[in-house]
Amino acid sequence: MAKLHWKRIVVKVGSALIAPHKAGCSSHFLLGIAHFIANCRAQGCQVVLVSSGSVAAGWHRFPEVNNPNVATKKAMAAAGQADMMATWDKLFDFPSAQLLVTHGDLRDRERYISIKETIFSLLEHGLLPIINENDAVTTDKLKVGDNDNLSAMVAAAADADALIICSDVKGLYTKNPNLDPNAKLIRQVSAIDERIYQMAGGATSDVGTGGMRTKIEAAEKAISHGVETVIVDGFDPDSFHQLLKGQNPGTLFSPFEKPMQEHLHWMTHTSQAQGELIVENDFEGDFEGEHTQLTSDDVVEVKGNFSVGDTVLVRKGDGTKLAKAKSNYSSCLLNFITEQEDPDFASDVQQKTGPIISDKNIAILE
């Protein structure tokens, strides 16, 4: 790691750093992070901050509640978001801007592009974008669920050079360092495979929603877009001193040498399949060809309800996932076509309407 060679970074801060005891926001652990962000900006490096903590920050506003239900947690998020933004504002001598998103925003291509444009405009005008999931209004169907994965999606949208994920441990260990004294810190990961995931345990904090596994998931999303990713101990100010010196204080995940194209990365890691197209187990279609087509003759079953333009998963009957793709047909029309006994009917429809999926909107799944 050369000394601060990045031009644009995303920093992810979790709930345990924002409101460590659910007693309101605390700047105790945020000072070092704020100092790091200020130094990065002073050196010409643009910064986007992904900050969890709205629920934890608002928890103390509901002292009579021990086990909050979903509606109360949304109310806590609404109350805590304002406190969290106020806390960050106090730590900076430059302006910031709040951007609340849901997975529904990110998986819709038009809204995703809108988010990109907003981030770029804020950075261009010298503001610090502070992004969080809109916990006050999101539903299970529309939420990302953890800000580790959200930060990776933001890093891709922002075309960042690096993603810094703050944890409550130094990085990825061979075993849980809180339980095994022989656990060793892994300084660098060149490829993420099942062995790496097996090393990732659950959350060690009772405040946040993400554990080490979600951080590995986020790293996998980010590095496939060419974003260098570092997991560091956010509670240790020395982590940020080392980063400013170009040193690796935690676990560094090396980015792909050949990153995925932007629209394919979005379809693979951000867009959510709204339905499935099931093909025969012996299906041998070439999705990597220049003239990829999927016809109704190939599709044996249509699952889910989706509209034209929605992302669908193409898989074999045995469960093998082949690709994610943009559907040129609605599930209603596809079901109608596949139920017809006249083979010429489907052929006539597809001659007029085109292929079910097109070659420019396919992400191959391996």
> Is the model's pLDDT at 300 over the cut of 60?
yes
- Whether residue 208 is predicted with pLDDT greater than 60 in this model: the reply is no
The chain-wide mean pLDDT, for the chain, equals 87
Q: What's the pLDDT tens digit per position in 5-43?
A: 899 999 999 999 999 888 889 999 999 999 999 999 999
Tell whether 284 is covered by a domain: yes
Do 299 and 172 share a structural domain? no
Higher pLDDT, 242 or 210: 242
pLDDT band at 209 (very low <50, low <70, confident <90, very high): very low
In a domain, 46, yes or no: yes
* Domain of residue 333, CATH code: 2.30.130.10
pLDDT digits (tens, 9 = 90+) for 211-254: 899 999 999 999 999 999 999 999 999 999 999 999 999 999 99
- Is 291 contained in some domain? yes
**What is the percentage of the chain residues whose pLDDT exceeds 70?**
87
61 with 158, same domain: the answer is yes
Nearest CA to 172 among 230, 251, 254, 255? 251
Instruction: Check whether residue 228 and residue 306 sit in a common domain.
Output: no
Q: Are residues 87 and 192 in the same domain?
A: yes
Q: Report the distance separating Cα 169 and Cα 14, nearest Å.
A: 12
Write out pLDDT tens, residues 268-295. Answer: 888 888 899 998 888 876 666 555 667 7
Amino acid identity for residue 232 in this structure: V
- Of 321 and 232, the structure prediction assigns the larger pLDDT to 232
Q: Is residue 2 part of a domain?
A: no
Question: Are residues 184 and 54 both part of a single domain?
Answer: yes
- Of 244, 234, 248, 249, the closest CA to residue 28 belongs to 234
- Does 342 fall in a domain? yes
Token pair of 173, please? Answer: 């260990």
Asked whether residue 146 falls in the same domain as residue 120, the answer is: yes
The Cα 242–Cα 160 span in angstroms is: 20
Q: Do 253 and 345 fall within a single domain?
A: no
Residues 202 and 334 both lie in one domain:
no
Question: Does 238 share its domain with 286?
Answer: no
pLDDT in tens, 60-90: 999 888 888 999 999 999 999 999 999 999 9
**Quick one: CA dihedral 27, 30, 36, 40, positive or negative?**
negative
Query: How many separate domains does the chain show?
Result: 2
Report whether pLDDT(207) > 50: no
Q: What is the pLDDT of residue 3?
A: 63
What is the tens place of the pLDDT at every residue in 125-168?
999 999 999 988 877 666 677 889 999 999 999 999 999 999 98
For residue 140, give both structure tokens: 């299970």
Q: Is 22 among the domain residues? A: yes
- For residue 258, being part of any structural domain is answered with yes
- Residue 201: pLDDT above 70? no
**Locate tokens 């909107």: which residue?**
361
Same domain, 108 and 225: yes
Q: In this predicted structure, what is the pLDDT of residue 289?
A: 56
325 or 162, which is more confident: 162
341-350 per-position pLDDT tens digit:
666 666 666 6
| Own/partner pairs, 138-146, CB within 8 angstroms, 24+ separation | 138/102, 138/103, 138/104, 141/104, 142/102, 142/103, 142/104, 143/102, 143/103, 144/102, 144/103, 144/106, 145/103, 145/209, 146/208, 146/209, 146/210, 146/214
265 token code pair: 């990365």
CB 24 within 8 A of CB 83: yes
Find the domain containing 198 and state its range.
Answer: 8-265
End residue of a domain, out of 265, 291, 318: 265
Strand partners, 308: none
Per-residue pLDDT at 204 = 47
Name the residue with higher pLDDT: 300 or 227: 227
Specify which of 38-42, 107-111, 257-261, 340-344 reaches the highest per-range mean pLDDT: 38-42
Q: Please indicate, yes or no, whether the overall pTM of this predicted structure exceeds 0.75.
A: yes
Please indicate whether residue 299 or residue 338 has the higher confidence score (pLDDT): 299
Check residue 22 and give its pLDDT: 82
Last residue of a domain, one of 200, 232, 265: 265
In angstroms, rounded to a whole number, what is the distance separating the alpha carbons of residues 233 and 121?
Answer: 31
- Residues 258 and 122 both lie in one domain: yes
CA distances from 251 to 4, 31, 96, 208, 336 (A): 16, 22, 29, 20, 52
CATH number, residue 246:
3.40.1160.10
65, 146: one domain: yes
Where does a domain end: 232, 265, 298?
Answer: 265
Query: Could you tell me if residue 1 is inside a domain?
Result: no
Contacts 24+ apart (CB under 8 A), 121-124: 122/97, 123/8, 123/46, 123/48, 123/158
- Of 146, 161, 171, whose CA–CA distance to 232 is shortest? 171
